[in-house]
Amino acid sequence: MGKLLVIEGVDSSGKATQAKKLLENLKSIGYDVQSVEFPDYKSNSSALVKMYLGGEFGKNAEDVNPYSASAFFAVDRVASYLTNWKKSLDDGKIVLADRYTTSNFIHQAAKISDKAEKDKFLDWVSDFEYNKLGLPKPDLTIFLDMPVPYAKILMANRPNKINNSQTLDIHESDTEYLNHSYQNAHYVADKFGWHKILCVKDEKVRSIDDIAGEILDTAKEVL
């Protein structure tokens, strides 16, 4: 069995950039790696995700309860796993994911303020995706700790992944929700033992290569 590595974080924390850098760095030292990205916007399996993030079910993230929203994202992951990267893991390769089940932990659990209810939801997501749907658990989850004010600056300079426009999705456009997600991300990162990478030092965003080097060193510890 191969290894599943996940790059996670709030919106515009640099996940896609760092996933690409890690892919390049691991390949350069001889590892056989396949990369995947969630949501899989190129697949029909992401249709409900696109509708949700595009505001068709409500203009605010809280308009859709976390259990329903989580199911949209989970189905997209299952379709990707079964058609795209299950064989790679079975063959012993490394699969590198830009977001995963862990994003439901961050973004959907952020809708729940009561700790007991939050923990109940997190247990449900884990059981639903890993047990009921049969998705593999990550061997390593790296959390990019990018505070919201810095993420907002980065967000303004990149297009919407749903339709390549400058329109923000319902998660990105709600600063209060972004703050809740960031605070919740620290809670779940501690709960599940994710490896945190600090992206800001001395009130400046660290360079891409500086962060990438720390990520590579962390990944090599589990490979």
Total number of domains constituting the chain: 1
- How far is the C-alpha of 175 from the C-alpha of 16, rounded, in Å? 21
The predicted structure's pLDDT at residue 169: 61
The predicted structure's pLDDT at residue 217: 98
The predicted structure's pLDDT at residue 114: 97
Residue 37 is part of which domain span?
A: 3-220
Partners of residue 15 on adjacent β-strands: none
The predicted structure's pLDDT at residue 161: 56
Q: Could you check whether the bond before residue 136 is cis, i.e. omega within 30 degrees of 0?
A: no
- State the CATH number of the domain containing residue 168: 3.40.50.300
Give the closest residue to 179 by CA, choosing from 98, 96, 113.
Answer: 113
User: Beta strand pairing status for 140-145 and 3-9?
Assistant: parallel
DSSP conformational letter for 136: P
153 CB neighbour count, 10 Å cutoff = 11
Give the closest residue to 16 by CA, choosing from 169, 172, 187, 154.
Answer: 154
The predicted structure's pLDDT at residue 168: 67
- How far is the C-alpha of 64 from the C-alpha of 77, rounded, in Å? 19
* Alpha helix stretches (DSSP H) within 46-192: 47-53, 66-80, 86-90, 101-103, 115-126, 148-155, 175-192
The predicted structure's pLDDT at residue 115: 97
- How far is the C-alpha of 92 from the C-alpha of 100, rounded, in Å? 19
Residue with tokens 């899989």: 40
What are the backbone angles phi and psi of residue 170, rounded to the nearest 5°? -70, -20
The predicted structure's pLDDT at residue 171: 73
Entry pTM = 0.91
User: In a 3-state reduction of DSSP, which class is residue 62?
Assistant: helix
Single-letter residue type at 111: K
The predicted structure's pLDDT at residue 149: 87
What are the backbone angles phi and psi of residue 178, rounded to the nearest 5°? -60, -40
Dihedral sign, Cα of residue 69, residue 73, residue 75, residue 78: negative
Instruction: Give the pLDDT means over successive 10-residue stretches in the chain (223 positions).
Output: 95 92 98 97 96 93 95 98 97 98 96 97 98 98 94 71 58 79 95 97 95 98 95
Contact 171, 53 (CB under 8 A): yes
